[in-house]
Structure 1
Amino acid sequence: MTTPFPFLRLPRLALIPVLQNMELIEVIAFSLISKRAFNLSKCFYKVSPGSIELLVGPYAIETRIDDLTMFFYGNVPEWVEILHHDKLMRWINAGLSTKQWIQRILAVTKCPSLDKVILNEKPKYDVLSVLDGVSKIFNLHIKPKCCNALAKRAVEVLSPVTSSITLFRVPLSNQEEFLRFWMGNVECLCIRYDDLSRFQFNLNDLLASNAVKLELRKVPMSLRDLNRFFSCWLHRTSNHRLEHLSVQSLKNINEDVLLKGLNATRFTEQQAIHFQSIRVVCHPEFTRGFEVRRIDGKLAAITFYTTFGTTYINFDVWS
């Protein structure tokens, strides 16, 4: 008969190197042994901020951390599936709900923030309650199949702790709700497949945005309206936080209309190379670019690119 090794009776100094060399799946399993094991597991393992992703589907929450993926089923709390190094396994009767599992992972990894939360479809459980206690979400993606009710609640509940929101369609009912969300403090907002026409979106709304980075993939703006927007930026009468804007052009670019009164200078070859090397927001190769200078000396670049027959105008503050 084999006598169990009294691991938890070892001195703390002896436990440290063992725990530090465990893989994450081993640390999580160890944390389930007892309350003392859970407390120890929180002391010696740490992942970098923004290492955890949550994908929410109709039946499961998929949690990804490096090479470890865990599947939690809200309607079957008795077990969890684990994919580790391409090997699939199942833990049964761990005694944790889906919410407790997520909290356990965040505690063990000492990472109270999530890199990405993707809402694909409406789940058969309250996913937002699972996310209680998450201090930061770097990226929230709300996909087209996510029902309006959940999408709207997610925007309302998670916006205060989210840096970047990508909406494939805006799940709000009227202009008042839209403007309350639009004028909030989301750092980065990307709207993919919604032209915002039902909210009578116009230049005044664009000027009222408080976002640092703003991408409107299906919102067509006239060249004259964009010219007025750039002019307001030059005179510091628009969103002072703005660092990046990308919008769709209604027609082929007429530089005389777009750049009228902006004192824009065309990029030299060296400026184009420099801009490509320092830009933060990734987009396809621009075809041409111009530099404009604000009254306080800050520089911005206006660039254009065309993809799949659609022309986009990009505005980037770069100095």
Structure 2
Amino acid sequence: MYLFFRIAFSIISKRTNNLSKCLYQVPPCSINLQVNPFFSEIRIFPANLILHFEENASETVGLLHHFQPVKWKNAGLSTKQWIQRVLAVTKCSSLNEVLLFGKHDYDVFSVLNIVSKVCCLYIMPHCCNALAKEAVEVLSPVTSSITLFKVPFSNREEFQIFWMGNVECLSIYNDDLSSVQFSLNDLLASNAVKLELTDVPMSLRDLNRFFSCWLNRTSNHRLEHLSVKLLEDINEDVLLERLGATRFTEQRAREYQSTKTFPKFRKFTGGFFRSSNTFTEFIGGFDVRRIDGKLAAITFGNTLTKKLINFDVWP
């Protein structure tokens, strides 16, 4: 019985609901949950199934099964109950993504309290600060990756508590962090393993100082990847001053490209990196070595509108 039919089977009665929980389990991190002020949506990848719940639990539930639209009668369940039912039938204790576009008419966190892990949390641009802040506070302990299209903190102290937490991967887009007076000292104090900053003002001299601190082991020891997008042109002399950087040879570049630890780079030809997926051309790569012998790579190039600098620690 396909998952599509098992979910339908579960809403016939309490007995079929209990029986359906014994029939199926999706692989971990195979479900995405999207919460919007006007609807919620669940996407289940192994089953090619999308369930769409309108605001205030309308009389029908919209589904897309193998790209074919279907409508079910609501069967008296609220949006919250529908999501709980799907999570129960799939026996899914870990979600792939939770995307918060805004507040719905149910408490999303009471639904997620049975979830042991959320691989990726996305706070979208128009999500209200109260919901975004609560999501970060509640889900950070079970989330390995957080992407913020807005920073919801009202003061610098709140931001610093979050910033120095133990989130493994943190990405910040379209927010210059001026509201929390972000500076180089914050970058040095970060505890993230992977960090991506877009539109956060960082000068080449700031990045040079950051790299110098890493080489001297006076910055984040957990850091494995840093990506920064800038508006200014990249001056190698300023960026690499006193770092003892060694330019990649073609052989070294190929070795770098073949290491899956560095997913930003896809192809090496003719002295530069090109990524057709992100429309990014990467020019130049340099090795730098920390005082304890740990090796890292500094690479940089151009996107369509910005300059990109990556810093990756070799495994």
CA displacement, residues 83-128 of structure 1 (integer Å, 9 cap, x when unaligned): 2123333322434332232222222222211111111233233333
Q: Which residue of 2 aligns with 1:26?
A: 5
Where structure 1 has 5 or more consecutive residues not aligned to the other structure, the ranges are 1-21
Amino acid at match of 1:313: I
Scaled by the length of structure 1, the TM-score of the pair is 0.87
State which of 114, 126, 129 in structure 2 corresponds to 1:145. Answer: 126
Please say if residues 229 and 308 of structure 2, whose CA atoms lie closer than 8 Å, have aligned partners that are also in contact: yes
- Once residues 155 and 161 of structure 1 are traced to their aligned partners in structure 2, the CA distance between those partners, rounded to angstroms, is 10
- Once residues 97 and 132 of structure 1 are traced to their aligned partners in structure 2, the CA distance between those partners, rounded to angstroms, is 17
1:164 aligns with 2:145: yes
Note the 1:92-171 alignment, pairs <5 A.
92-171=73-152
Greater mean deviation of Cα atoms: 277-286 or 53-62: 277-286
1:51 aligns with 2:51: no
Greater mean deviation of Cα atoms: 306-315 or 71-80: 71-80
State which of 180, 186, 201 in structure 1 corresponds to 2:167. Answer: 186
CA shift at 1:77, angstroms?
6.1
CA shift at 1:155, angstroms?
1.5
Greater mean deviation of Cα atoms: 190-199 or 101-110: 101-110
Scaled by the length of structure 2, the TM-score of the pair is 0.88
Q: Which residue of 2 aligns with 1:217?
A: 198
Q: Which residue of 2 aligns with 1:6?
A: none
Amino acid at match of 1:64: R
CA displacement, residues 18-54 of structure 1 (integer Å, 9 cap, x when unaligned): xxxx111111122234444334333332222111011
1:261 aligns with 2:242: yes
Change (3 A) 1:160 1:228: same
1:306 aligns with 2:306: no
Q: Which residue of 1 aligns with 2:293?
A: 297
Q: Name the SS of the counterpart of 1:286 in structure 2.
A: strand
Change (3 A) 1:35 1:280: farther
Q: Name the SS of the counterpart of 1:288 in structure 2.
A: strand
Identity within the alignment, %: 67
Amino acid at match of 1:118: L
State which of 306, 312, 315 in structure 2 corresponds to 1:316. Answer: 312
Q: Which residue of 2 aligns with 1:247?
A: 228
Please say if residues 152 and 171 of structure 1, whose CA atoms lie closer than 8 Å, have aligned partners that are also in contact: yes
Please say if residues 248 and 312 of structure 1, whose CA atoms lie closer than 8 Å, have aligned partners that are also in contact: yes
Please say if residues 79 and 106 of structure 2, whose CA atoms lie closer than 8 Å, have aligned partners that are also in contact: no
State which of 73, 76, 85 in structure 1 corresponds to 2:66. Answer: 85
Q: Name the SS of the counterpart of 1:63 in structure 2.
A: strand
Where structure 2 has 5 or more consecutive residues not aligned to the other structure, the ranges are 266-279
Greater mean deviation of Cα atoms: 60-69 or 87-96: 87-96
- Once residues 52 and 29 of structure 1 are traced to their aligned partners in structure 2, the CA distance between those partners, rounded to angstroms, is 18
Q: Which residue of 2 aligns with 1:4?
A: none
Amino acid at match of 1:73: E
Q: Name the SS of the counterpart of 1:46 in structure 2.
A: coil
- Once residues 98 and 309 of structure 1 are traced to their aligned partners in structure 2, the CA distance between those partners, rounded to angstroms, is 41
Q: Name the SS of the counterpart of 1:221 in structure 2.
A: coil
Q: Name the SS of the counterpart of 1:287 in structure 2.
A: strand
Greater mean deviation of Cα atoms: 72-81 or 56-65: 72-81
How many residues align? The count is 298
- Once residues 221 and 150 of structure 1 are traced to their aligned partners in structure 2, the CA distance between those partners, rounded to angstroms, is 29
1:42 aligns with 2:33: no
Amino acid at match of 1:75: N
CA displacement, residues 240-278 of structure 1 (integer Å, 9 cap, x when unaligned): 111110113353222222222222110011111221222
